[in-house]
Amino acid sequence: MQYLTIPDTDLRVSNFCLGAMPFGMGQDIATEDSLVDAFLERGGNFFDTAHCYAFWTKAGAGSSERSLADHLKRRDLWGKVVVATKGGHPQEPGYRTVDWFLAPGRIAADIDDSLGRMGIGCIDLYWLHRDDPRVPVAEIVDCLNAEVARGRIRYFAGSNWSGERLAEANAYARAKGVQGFVASQPCWSLATKPMTRTMWELTAADWTFHRETGMPVIPYSPTAQGYFASNGEKGKSYDLPVNRPVLAKVDQLAKELGATRNQVALAWLLAQPFPVIPILGTSDREHLLDAFGALDLALDPARLRDMANE
């Protein structure tokens, strides 16, 4: 495993992040333990969860935060690893919130819940789960800095935010001499699909923003929900004409390198000209172990460009 310090923070993290969305959703605790242990044994120290996980299941919102906290407490790891969680998610059927989901009161309430569920006093990295363009970035930055001042979060970042809005927010933060956003968490992989109201795909303009600023990208669905690993059998929402030639390229390169398709897809992300920390959200220990093989692959610049869906 390799490590990097997220710019403008003292968070030194592994270059893979373990996504805890499946935790607490009913799978066997021993299965979750094996995932956490495999990640830790290979040097992983970065975990991601969210206030809303998993409101769409019987376990309900907060189940992931509670479960992840339990796994870390049993190993006496609080303060020794980096834990990120997310709040500020819009209304969805089964998830009770408010229309103005980035209002200061809503953000504060979500932080209250997350701190209580995990039994901690401060969150290392706090993501705003979705952007709300109705709210001026100045109000959002001021709100989050107030939470930093209260000692309830250390740093903050944007999930499903555009590079344009991140740039606007950080310009305001610099002008005011306060903390800005330190990372972005979009949906990003070698495959693409149309954006939805709640899912932001990294765009060409966003890519340029990250190349120019060096802000890290910490993408979810980095292997297109199993589309590459299964050779198109899973991740059906990615099974589009635009992605099939990319899948063929990935398959060919995997054969040339003696690697798996999953490893090639992850290696492409890791080879970008700015820091990328893929979130591994698998519930399968063998899939997690396979992902680590991407760290040993090096894609030359010409091959890197050829892989992209452009």
> Which residues are known to be catalytic?
53
Burial class (CB in 10 A: 0-12, 13-18, 19+), 305: exposed
Phi, psi for residue 46 in degrees, rounded to 5: -130, 125
Which amino acid is it at 73? K
Give the span between the Cα atoms of 133 and 156, in whole angstroms. Answer: 18
CA-CA-CA-CA torsion sign (2, 199, 31, 55): positive
Strand boundaries in the chain, DSSP class E: 3-5, 12-14, 17-19, 46-48, 82-87, 123-128, 153-159, 184-185, 279-280
308 neighbors 272 (Cβ within 8 angstroms)? no
Using CA atoms, how far apart are residues 275 and 138, in angstroms rounded to an integer?
26
Question: Which amino acid, 69?
Answer: A
Phi and psi at 153, nearest 5°, equal -135, 155
DSSP-derived 3-state class of residue 156: strand
**38: which 2 tokens?**
């495999």
